[in-house]
Structure 1
């Protein structure tokens, strides 16, 4: 298994309405996929409450992560403007090399 960082940029058009209508479905999706999506949360820029999101995913391959991205209700609702999937190798945690 590998770790992947998934960076989302949100489409700001209708973002507040989409987030309101789909937030509970998005949370249910994250909970249902907790074995793979290890952590997730919103990203913001100065002056923007929500600019996108970040997931850390444990999966076999990029295709597995891409499948998760496309199954997220926020994706199908059009909230996400773009996504980057990057393999990540953790080398430092809690003050020490791993």
Structure 2
């Protein structure tokens, strides 16, 4: 099943982001088979991230919740909130970018 995950960061968390960014990227890289798309979300291209968006392939919503709990951005306390939603692609034949 496919899921979208939306993270909201705590206000003023930029220093945590900078400190843990490389560990977070390495963590994501190890999970490319499961986390199909990942990236930060911002109001403007040059503004600080407000959170992140992932597309995840997993067996269940509970598997998704277990997945992000070991992410360095989660374990360092940077994330304020997370939403996990089931996702149905409109065009099944399209691959994810």
Q: Which consecutive aligned stretches of 4+ in structure 1 deviate over 6 angstroms post-superposition?
A: none
* Residue 3 in structure 1 maps to residue 11 in structure 2: no
| Structure 2 gap ranges (5+) | none
TM-score (norm 2): 0.88
Matches within 5 A, 1:10-49: 10-13=9-12, 15-46=13-44, 48-49=47-48
Match of 1:70 in 2: 69
> Higher strand fraction: Structure 1 or Structure 2?
1
Per the TM alignment, residue 17 of structure 1 is displaced from its structure 2 partner at its CA by: 1.1
Structure 1 vs Structure 2 CA RMSD: 1.8
TM-score (norm 1): 0.87
Spell out, residue by residue over 1:3-48, the C-alpha distance to the aligned partner (whole angstroms, 9 max, x if none): 00000001013x1110111000000110111110001000012484
